[in-house]
Chains A and B, each alone.
Chain A
Amino acid sequence: MPTNYAELRKNTGFSIAKTELKTGTALGPELQERLPPARPLLDAADVVVPEGYAVEAVMAGLSFPTDVDIAPDGTIYVSEGGSSWPTRPYMPARVVVKKPSGETEAITMNVQAGPRSVTWRDGELYMSLKGGYHMQIVKYNLETGELKVLIDQLPSGGWHEPGGPLFGPDGLMYFGNGSVSQQGVCLPAGFTVDLAKHPNAHDVPGQDVTLTGNNVRSRDPRMPFPYLVETGAFKPFGTPAQKGEVVKGELYCNSAVWRSRPDGTDMELLAWGIRNPFGMAMNEAGELYVSDNDFEEKGERAIANDPDRIWHLKIAREPFGTVKTPAWYGFPDLCGDGLPVNHETHLPSRGTPAELLLENPPEWAGPAAFLEQPHSCMCKMDFSRSEAFGYKGELFVAEWGTLAPLNSPRPEDLDHGFRVIRVDVEKGTAQPFMHNQKMGPATAFGSGGIERPVSCKFSPDGKDLYVLDFGVDKVTPGNMMGFAHTGVLWKISRKEAQNG
């Protein structure tokens, strides 16, 4: 047994096995009868897509699903996240499998929190996992059942998510790791869960940085009586930084994107300063795009009107192994528009205004390929590769939807997201592709449409777009609650293709 704290905080692998999955099928009135009260209606007719496309629900009853992938033989893999957003309650961390025959099974793993992605490649499932002080990237052999941990030391244990893995035309594996802190400094943030589980977690920069010493003062909810503490950037909660202090950049950092060989070796840091690189996609030309979510307008380091964004990581064009200096995209001091967090356009209407944390910020690698409305919560995405589906070369992005009024007091933020958009990454423009008749989650107005799209992926032949809908997360000004068994997998096809 390890005898020091650093050893104890390392991942040690986990058990994983194929298990039976209790499923049934239903249609029409029987379907509505079987649905849980939290999402009592499911009706593709309530979903809006462009003329010429058809939508159908493929699976329902999913619990906190995070990603979908489809193997060349048509087998569908949906990862269910275990503890996700919010972390309670934990539902089984697993991958739901639907074979072309209609047969189903689960690949269940004894790990907390759970898988945040699933990528099929040559008979193996590659997954990124959250949980503990370090995120993991693993691969699971579907035939032998062997689990291999490929990446295991990326500092995590906080707010944001792993990204990828995806495989480029160059055969390399690309992956990301979001920041521990929500607002650039580890803070109670309204949820004490991260502090409870990982009180020593903190952000790690990808380059050497000098700190301004602007610490953030807050209450320490771990203490039995009201107790005020100061916290600095790249420090665990309750640890202040000093003015002029230098924090060393690390290969094993966060708010970052890397590439490696498919077995996880020769890891190369491409970029950092990306707050939440949950969505990653590469087009046929091998250009890498990463989604990123905005700062929140609440709490002790509040920032307003920060747009969601998609970064084009041009640095990924550099030959493998030649990147000496990673690109920096702004976290923790710049918003998506490149303006500092204390710029007058980002001053909050509630909470304590943010101060700058870096004395010598690296050169900004922006501007973004696309800016989206704040709090749209752009998640996973995929490029259309087929004329049969249409919009070839455009990037389809799942937008989970806002957490306002919890994370923003602005009425205009209340219906941002809750849709799938298609982005022209060359022009930096987007159009809604899939949404409800009224913008917002379906259950908010009694519809049977979509709730919170979390991932979208094209079938291997490019003809169908699968949209994974996380399900019902109810948000109030004070809290959020997620209801299990409300996730849905939708499929969108061209009507002409359906007719043969």
Chain B
Amino acid sequence: MAKATQNPIILIELDHDTRQTQFDRAKTWFDNVLLTQSSCRQLVEDTVEKIEEPHMKQYLAEMALQEREHEAKARELFALIGREPSDVRQLLGQVAGKARQALGDFIALAGSAKGPWQDLHQVYLSNYNSMGAFAVAEQLGLALGIPAIVDLVFPVIAEKSTSQLLLKEYVLEMCSKSILYHEGF
């Protein structure tokens, strides 16, 4: 067995000031995670109500439940670096979710689409945005050397990635009914 360390060890970017500065910067990103996730959750919840087709309605309702859990996970991120979330950003996210619905209506009108397809299309984009925000948080966890961040967000990214495949399928499958037939579902 070796002798114990005697001399002071040089620490690279592990001093108190550097760490706290980087935590502050990570916190501002985590606020973005919360904002994009609140927006996505709001949009999914509203879209469920607009869809009549039973299978899609069921899958999206399950997704809405997951989105609430993801939002709770986003709030948990802050404690891992000793910070508090910004409630203003969360509120902004919900407003942004409503705004995306309006944007979807505009795109649908301009692109000759009818029914809830435009909402589904916005959910597809919003989930992608939110998934990306969580994925960046994961990278920040790796860069800061904090496994708890990675452990928290990895399952969220995995669920969102699975949802993204499902949303892509629905958006591509149902576009013809919405654009060519001008029918809802």
Interface residues of A in 331-359 (CB under 8 A from B): none
The verdict on A460 contacting chain B, using a C-beta distance below 8 Å, is no
**Smallest CB gap from B14: residue in A:** A61
Question: B143-182 interface mask toward A, CB cutoff 8 Å, 1 = contact, 0 = none?
Answer: 1111110100000000000000000000000000000000
- Which residues of chain A have C-beta atoms less than 8 A from B13's C-beta? 21-23, 61, 63, 485
Closest 8 CB pairs of A and B: A36-B145, A61-B12, A55-B2, A24-B15, A25-B8, A38-B145, A61-B14, A89-B139
Interface of A with B (CB < 8 Å)?
A: 21-27, 31, 34-39, 42-49, 53-63, 88-89, 91, 96, 98, 102, 104, 437, 472, 474, 481-486, 495
Q: Is the interface of A mostly helix, strand, loop or mixed?
A: mixed
CB within 8 Å for A36 and B146 given contacts A45-B2, A54-B2: yes
Q: Chain B contacts of A48 at CB under 8 A? A: 1-2
User: Taking the complex as formed, is B11 at the interface, i.e. its CB lies under 8 A from any CB of chain A?
Assistant: yes
Q: How far is the CA of A24 from the CA of B19 in the complex (A)?
A: 12
Chain A residues with CB under 8 A of B5: 27, 31, 42-45, 56-57
A21 CA / B14 CA spacing, docked (Å)? 11
Which residues on A sit within 8 Å (CB–CB) of B16? Answer: 34
A23–B15 touching, CB < 8 Å: yes
Assembled-state Cα–Cα distance A264/B151 (Å): 46
By a CB distance below 8 angstroms, the chain A residues around B10 are 23-25, 58-60, 98, 102, 104
* Complex interface: chain B residues within 8 A of A482 (CB): 142
Give the shortest distance, in Å, between A390 (CB) and chain B (any CB): 15
CA distance A257 to B143 in the complex (A): 34
Residues A47 and B18 in contact, CB atoms below 8 Å apart: no
In angstroms, how far is the closest chain A Cβ from the Cβ of B13? 5
B9 at interface by CB-CB < 8 Å: yes
Query: Chain A's nearest CB lies how many Å from the CB of B80?
Result: 9
Beta-carbon contact of A27 and B8 below 8 Å: yes
State whether A38 touches B11 (Cβ < 8 A): no
Contact A483 B142 (CB under 8 A): yes
Contacts of A39 in B (CB 8 A): 145
B9 to chain A, nearest CB (A): 5
Pick 30 A–B contacts, CB within 8 A, sort by A: A22-B15, A22-B17, A22-B18, A23-B12, A24-B14, A26-B9, A27-B7, A27-B8, A31-B9, A31-B11, A34-B15, A36-B14, A36-B146, A38-B146, A42-B9, A43-B4, A43-B5, A45-B5, A53-B2, A55-B2, A57-B9, A58-B7, A58-B9, A59-B10, A61-B13, A63-B12, A91-B143, A96-B12, A437-B1, A472-B145
A34 to B15, CA, bound (A): 7
Q: Are B145 and A484 in contact (CB under 8 A)?
A: yes
The residue on B at minimum CB distance from A96 is: B12
Residues of B within 8 A of A27 (CB): 5, 7-9
Distance between Cα atoms of A46 and B5 in the complex (Å): 10
The complex places the Cα of A45 from the Cα of B3 at a distance, in Å, of: 5
- Bound CA–CA A39/B139 (angstroms): 17
Please state if A24 and B2 are interface contacts (CB–CB under 8 Å): no
**Shortest distance in angstroms between A193's beta carbon and chain B's nearest beta carbon?**
13
B4, closest chain A residue (CB): A45
With A34-B15, A37-B147, A485-B12 known as contacts, the answer to whether A55 contacts B142 (CB < 8 A) is: no
Least CB separation from B140: chain A residue: A89
| Whole-angstrom CA separation of A43 from B1 in the bound complex | 11
Q: Is B11 in contact with A481, judged by CB distance below 8 angstroms?
A: no
Please indicate which of the listed interface residues B8, B142, B144 has the most CB atoms of chain A within 10 Å of its own CB.
Answer: B142
In angstroms, Cα B11 to Cα A27, docked, is: 10
| Bound Cα distance from A139 to B12, whole angstroms | 25
Q: Are A44 and B4 in contact (CB under 8 A)?
A: yes
Which of A22, A47, A58, A88 has the most C-beta atoms of chain B within 10 angstroms of its own C-beta? Answer: A22
Whether B150 and A481, one on each chain, are in contact in the complex, defined by CB atoms closer than 8 angstroms, is yes
